[in-house]
Chain A
């Protein structure tokens, strides 16, 4: 449970995300999606209950240990990109390594690989203000992928992108799951984006009120999610 003031942002949520799974979280505004993501990522702690990552309780960890979990095991992608304006695209991507005290020569190869994965090699030395929205979000995704985290948490990552850029980004996430076995939790309003997941969880008023296993290919998956949402009255 998580309470903000007099409001219960999350209440009785019991969610099990398997290693290597891709779970989409949907729900109306204020339903607790982002709060759930923050708890999963150790950015915040629940007022009641627990968040367990691979057998370790995040809730009982002190701030120092939780910080290390975020640094090494979790990658975040935010809707607002959250890039550092004074750093180039390459430097933004490598920021977690800088925080970890790695020397540039030690992470250069990894950086090249990630830049290739998000198709930004040519834009490496550009400042965020010189990039398009789609490119900025790919930089943000690359930064999350850079540490090769066990879990990727994405909070409305396509919210500020056009459909093509959004699809490109979701493909990056999908490849991370498929090729590297990384666990992805995606918060979104968009049924098409949610259909990239293997499962969709629907939140309302801080509670889980629906769970969908997604099968099929391409547009069928999006249709399936849409129909399910209609069923839920969303």
Chain B
């Protein structure tokens, strides 16, 4: 041994079980972070490559009907045609994309291009919704919010991993206090001891981070797949960048070292005589850190309420989580005592472990905090998920109360086409919607043009403030808009207030005739105006239909009837039943949440490792006590059961404390999702979800107690009584 610092690595090797548990916690934290970074990058690059290939100015595509390569002659002649302002040949030369200006694309095709280029050329439309082409505007916000939320969750997981290291080193320092006292007695400076502890954490952090990186490759491909699914893009290959590797390793190592700093300081401050006399075990004293927690928690809540954006979420979430964690120690004693009334019944000697929990407050409290944070995460996610499903149901009950949803890209429906569809034998009722774009309070939003007469005869809105009759009247008169509640809140307007909306010709002020809940995944959810205001927003005509069918109509019958009405030649029509549409939307929501639940699951495993680690440590420290209990007649199984009682009491206390934290986080998460993405939902608390979360806590506790309980039961009396 060349220096005291290598004592650290010896100690790690001496306790392989605990080292493995802690290392695995760090590795999982790093793996998760790395996975999220790589997945975000891969999906982003894939998305960028896709959008790079479709410049927003091109609106018509030309290909040969036989799919062959376009000749130079055709390309040159196309560029020479009137109204072609720009164009681009695709790399394989089978497609030419052009930007048509100053004439409707349909007219350009019919009147200019087809006569000039001949019947072999097929025209397609590069789809745009509404007036100005902004293909990824809303999508980008959605993507950023998903990434932000993922980053926040992985930060919490890394925090949990850091916490695990802190717990391990705190207990390891406590356990080795006598050793540090001896080293001080032999002439070691406090700085040498601090360095030894830091080097130990550095070693553990570095090795675990490298392992985490390897695990991260697997997690990256899983998250990439889930993320691509949630965003509705093809799963791209993982793109690994040097900075992602560096950032993950650095964060893993830094978290390890920072987490070990406080225990290292404690180790260095050990007084030799007190350490060797055993006075250091008076660790139950309550520190004053809870005061900082009492300040941080409301600050985090305030920040989250004031700035509900998901981008601020990581900061407010960190303040809330750290604040709550610091508040746990003073709460542990009363909560554990209260729960102990029930859990002590699980074992004849159940009082002993509950007493230990209360006595060893510091370590128990922070382990409990770790579990509490993860359970709160699970609950808040469940609440957000439930809230979204509720909002979806509410929106579908009001705004999609029809049988069929039709969307046509390429060209708006002409009045004659609408009349033809409405005359089809299985169509009972129909209303048409036009789509445009606007900006409200710096947020891009769709404009939905409805015909109040037909719309309110079939459908309604999920009103927050308003009613069908007054809304229909206001839209019929014009100069009025129905505004999604989230946009109204963002713009700071209520029903009856004026609202400023952008149009292709500048800004326009309309009066808010009502506010309603919308659902962000659905494109025809935006600011609703009547036909008289459609022109202001550059909406040429309806592009979507809602149909009610005659009873007994099959889907294929109605689809055929809708498609039987000929369009202008190059349109794309999508016909879906409302049930199909709902299924698609629910699928998107579920994919989105599956991703987050996967992250929470990893955090839960980290929490489980923390609990197992703490229990193991607790049993180790009480080896002599276990020996005495065995010597005085306690069975091995009873000793094991005591450990389980301790674990379950701890986890249930964490569960109890996670309820208010989870509810706060759920409110903020739902609010953030609503404000940022326009997903509705009133932020209702799915209290019934507490049951599975409580069961989850108990299962985690039982799993975490397995090994420590087995070890405690196997303690040999003579060895234990000899234990120092």
Contact = CB atoms under 8 A, between A and B. Distances in A.
Max chain B C-beta neighbours (<10 A), residue from A38, A67, A87, A143: A67
B186 A71 contact: yes
A86 interface: yes
Interface string A38-69: 10010110000000000000000001100111
A43 B189 CA distance: 13
A94 B178 CA distance: 19
B3 A101 contact: yes
B418 interface: no
Contacts of B724: 80
B188 A87 contact: no
Contacts of A94: 1
Nearest to A41: B185
Contacts of B11: 86
B185 A43 contact: yes
A20 to B, nearest CB: 22
Contacts of A72: 187
A80 B275 CA distance: 13
Interface in B180-207: 182-190, 192
Interface residues of A, number: 31
A82 B3 CA distance: 19
B299 interface: no
Given A43-B272, A44-B273, A82 B182 contact: yes
A210 interface: no
Contacts of B178: 82
B183 A99 contact: yes
A113 interface: no
B265 to A, nearest CB: 15
A70 B4 contact: no
B13 interface: yes
Contacts of B3: 98, 101
B273 A76 contact: no
Contacts of B183: 95, 99
Query: Size class of B's contact patch?
Result: 20 to 34
Contacts of A38: 273
Given A44-B273, A86-B13, A87-B1, A96 B187 contact: yes
Nearest to A72: B187
Contact of B4 (A41, A64, A99): A99
Nearest to A103: B2
B276 interface: yes
Contact of A67 (B7, B13, B182, B187): B187
Contact of A86 (B7, B185, B272, B276): B7
A156 interface: no
Interface string A85-102: 111000100111011110
A131 interface: no
Interface string B449-464: 0000000000000000
Contact of A71 (B14, B187, B276): B187
A71 B186 CA distance: 5
A159 interface: no
B188 A67 contact: yes
B10 interface: yes
A114 to B, nearest CB: 15
B19 to A, nearest CB: 12
Contact of A100 (B185, B187, B272): B187
A98 B272 CA distance: 18
A143 B178 CA distance: 17
B262 interface: no
Contact of B276 (A67, A82, A98, A104): A82
Given A86-B10, A86-B13, A87-B10, A98 B2 contact: yes
A164 B95 CA distance: 99
A78 interface: yes
A234 interface: no
A84 interface: yes
Contacts of B185: 41, 43, 70, 76
B179 interface: yes
Contact of B1 (A63, A76, A98): A98
A84 B182 contact: yes
A88 to B, nearest CB: 9
Please indicate which of the listed interface residues B1, B10, B183 has the most CB atoms of chain A within 10 Å of its own CB.
B1
A136 to B, nearest CB: 12
Contacts of A63: 190
B16 to A, nearest CB: 12
Contacts of A44: 271-273
A219 B185 CA distance: 34
A99 B183 CA distance: 8
A68 B184 CA distance: 10
A68 B276 contact: no
Nearest to A155: B276
Given A96-B187, A99-B183, 10 more contacts: A68-B187, A70-B184, A71-B188, A76-B185, A76-B186, A87-B1, A91-B1, A98-B4, A99-B192, A101-B3
19 contacts: A41-B185, A70-B186, A70-B187, A76-B185, A76-B186, A78-B276, A82-B178, A85-B14, A87-B1, A87-B7, A95-B186, A96-B186, A98-B4, A99-B4, A99-B183, A99-B186, A101-B3, A103-B2, A143-B186
Interface of A: 38, 41, 43-44, 63-64, 67-72, 76, 78, 80, 82, 84-87, 91, 94-96, 98-101, 103-104, 143
